[in-house]
């Protein structure tokens, strides 16, 4: 009976006319999401967080400095082999010392990605959003926000944001069985204040010339003119952009990005045989990310997204080729 009442409340939250109070709360929760987005854009911070997926957890240090020149970020993985990701505005460099490789990902457009501009209305159609309890995390009083998916094509999320600044301090992702798929949680965090600029500088950059640089070479593209398209996307997803780029050693990969406002899925299309070895079709999971690979018309279609297996599979199935 209690469960039923709870379900009724949850359902009401999504239908404004039915229960004004619940709807009010929903709006408030949406306001919180906006606050999180805004905070992430403008705040400087430094801290240590733990990323957990399944049995595995990894500690990383994350520093972000926003100044007159833009956004500088550095993510350093502290467990296992050293790895580091440096971001300066739209350029992301990923240093992998074990292979002496630096992968450079540069976006052609400036400013934040359009789809990520808090299209809150967009994803309110796909999730029930509500405020939950307040909780103290890493020394900050946080407001919890719950996003429940309306179908099995996306994950559920619970976010904890600092009440004062809106900074995201903790995030959990749930699957359809309500199990935690992955979790990010700061254990120690300084928001604002003086942050040493050294903390956003790469410890690998400029050390010798032995690093192999892999440029991603992204350009906008019209994949439909090449015959590639998505036939019927699962409900709530729409196409956001399409590009041509390199992915690792493969030079000429089409990428179509679709999103439901909160989760994004990339469809990569490349001719078979550009990679060494035998590509294997099927499904793979990495934390909240699912990967589905299929072959189509002599091409390899790789679908990657932080959505459930069913979501990536459906999107992969929607890929079609029509001779242009």
Partner 1 sequence: MKERLSALMDEELGGAESEGCLDRLDRDGELQDAWRVYHLIGDALRGHAGHGLPPSFADRLAAEPTVLAPRRAERAAQRNAWYALSAAASVAAVALVGWMALPLFEPPAQIASSQPAPAQATAALPPAVVPTAQGVNDYLLAHQRFSPSSVMGGMAPYVRTVSEAREAR
| Subset of residues 35 to 94 that bind partner 1, contact rule: CB under 8 A | 36-37, 40-41, 49, 51, 53-56, 58, 60, 62, 64, 73-75, 77, 79-81, 83, 85, 87, 92, 94
Site mask, partner 1, residues 229-268, x = CB under 8 A?
A: -----------xx---x-xx----x-x-x-x-xxxx-x-x
d(CA 193, CA 121): 33
d(CA 166, CA 39): 5
Which residue in 205, 202, 193, 203 sits closest to 66, CA to CA?
Answer: 193
The nearer residue to partner 1, 20 or 139, going by C-beta atoms, is: 139
Q: Is 272 in the site for partner 1 (CB under 8 A)?
A: yes
Q: Which range binds partner 1 by CB under 8 A, 134-142, 187-195, 204-212, 288-296?
A: 288-296
Shortest distance, position 42 Cβ to partner 1, whole Å: 11
Q: How many residues bind partner 1 (CB under 8 A)?
A: 94
Q: Which of residues 137-166 bind partner 1 (CB under 8 A)?
A: 152, 159
Note whether 125 binds partner 1 by CB under 8 A.
Answer: no
Considering the complex, state which of residue 22 and residue 53 has its C-beta at the smaller distance from partner 1. Answer: 53
Q: Which helix (H) or strand (E) holds 34?
A: helix 20-42
* Cβ proximity to partner 1, 136 vs 286, nearer residue: 286
Q: 166 to 185, contacts with partner 1 by CB under 8 A?
A: 168, 171, 176, 182, 184
Q: Identify whether the C-beta of residue 84 lies closer than 8 Å to the C-beta of residue 204.
A: yes
Q: Does 116 bind partner 1 (CB under 8 A)?
A: yes
Q: Tell whether the torsion through CA atoms of 61, 62, 68 and 69 is positive or negative.
A: positive
> What is the rounded CA–CA span in Å between residue 278 and residue 11?
47
x/- letters, 200..219, toward partner 1 (CB under 8 A): ----------------x---
Least Å distance between CB 12 and partner 1?
A: 26
User: In the bound complex, what is the minimum distance in angstroms from residue 19's beta carbon to partner 1?
Assistant: 28
Q: Could you tell me the sign of the dihedral formed by the alpha carbons of 130, 131, 135, 139, in that order?
A: positive
Question: Does residue number 115 form part of the binding site for partner 1 (CB under 8 A)?
Answer: yes
Window of 2-10, 97-105, 204-212, 221-229 that interacts with partner 1 by CB under 8 A: 97-105
Stretch that binds partner 1, among 6-14, 23-31, 131-139, 293-301 (CB under 8 A): 293-301
Q: Name which of 28 and 310 has its Cβ closer to partner 1.
A: 310
Among 25, 113, 190, 318, binds partner 1 (CB under 8 A): 113
Cβ contacts of 250 within 8 Å, gap of 6 or more: 270, 274, 275
Altogether, the residues listed in the chain come to a count of 324
With binding defined as CB under 8 A, does residue 281 bind partner 1?
yes
Main-chain phi, psi angles of 116, to 5 degrees = -90, -5
Cα–Cα distance list, 214 to 15, 99, 106, 198 (Å): 49, 12, 11, 25
Q: Min. distance of Cβ 164 from partner 1 in angstroms?
A: 17
- Pick the binder of partner 1 from 197, 238, 286, 322 (CB under 8 A): 286
Which strand (E) or helix (H) includes residue 88? strand 83-88
Distance CA(83)–CA(1), nearest Å, equals 51
Check binding of 107 to partner 1 (CB under 8 A): yes
| Dihedral sign from CA coordinates of 22, 28, 30, 32 | negative
Return d(Cα 31, Cα 36) in angstroms, integer.
9
Q: Is 275 a residue that touches partner 1 (CB under 8 A)?
A: yes
Give the whole-angstrom CA distance, residue 261 versus residue 230.
Answer: 18
């Amino acid at each position: 009976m209690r469960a039923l009442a709870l379900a009724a409340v949850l359902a009401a939250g999504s239908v404004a006319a039915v229960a004004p109070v619940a709807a009010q709360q929903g709006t408030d929760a949406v306001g919180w999401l906006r606050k999180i987005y805004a905070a992430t854009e403008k705040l400087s911070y430094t801290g240590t967080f733990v990323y957990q997926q399944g049995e595995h957890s990894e500690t990383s240090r994350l520093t972000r400095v926003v100044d007159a020149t833009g956004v500088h970020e550095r993510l350093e993985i502290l467990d296992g082999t050293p790895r580091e990701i440096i971001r300066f505005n739209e350029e992301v460099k990923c240093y992998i010392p074990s292979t002496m490789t630096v992968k450079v990902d540069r976006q052609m457009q400036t400013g934040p990605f359009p789809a990520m501009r808090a299209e809150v209305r967009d994803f309110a159609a796909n999730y029930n959003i509500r405020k939950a309890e307040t909780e103290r995390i890493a020394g900050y009083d946080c407001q919890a926000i719950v996003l429940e998916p309306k179908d099995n094509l996306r994950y559920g999320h619970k976010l904890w944001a600092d009440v004062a600044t809106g900074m995201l301090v903790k995030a959990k992702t749930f699957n359809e069985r309500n199990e935690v798929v992955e979790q990010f949680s700061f254990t120690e965090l300084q928001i604002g204040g003086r942050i040493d600029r050294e903390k956003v500088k790469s410890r690998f950059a400029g050390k010798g010339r032995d690093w192999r640089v892999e440029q991603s070479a992204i350009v906008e593209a019209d994949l439909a003119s090449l015959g590639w398209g998505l036939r019927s996307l699962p409900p709530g997803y729409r196409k956001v952009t399409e590009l041509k780029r390199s992915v690792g050693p493969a030079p000429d990969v089409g990428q179509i990005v679709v999103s439901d406002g909160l989760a994004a899925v990339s469809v990569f299309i490349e001719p078979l045989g550009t990679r060494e070895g035998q590509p294997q079709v099927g499904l793979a999971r990495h934390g909240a990310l699912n990967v589905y690979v299929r072959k189509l018309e002599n091409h390899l279609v790789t679908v990657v997204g932080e959505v459930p297996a069913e979501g990536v599979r459906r999107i992969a199935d929607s890929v079609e080729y029509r001779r242009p």
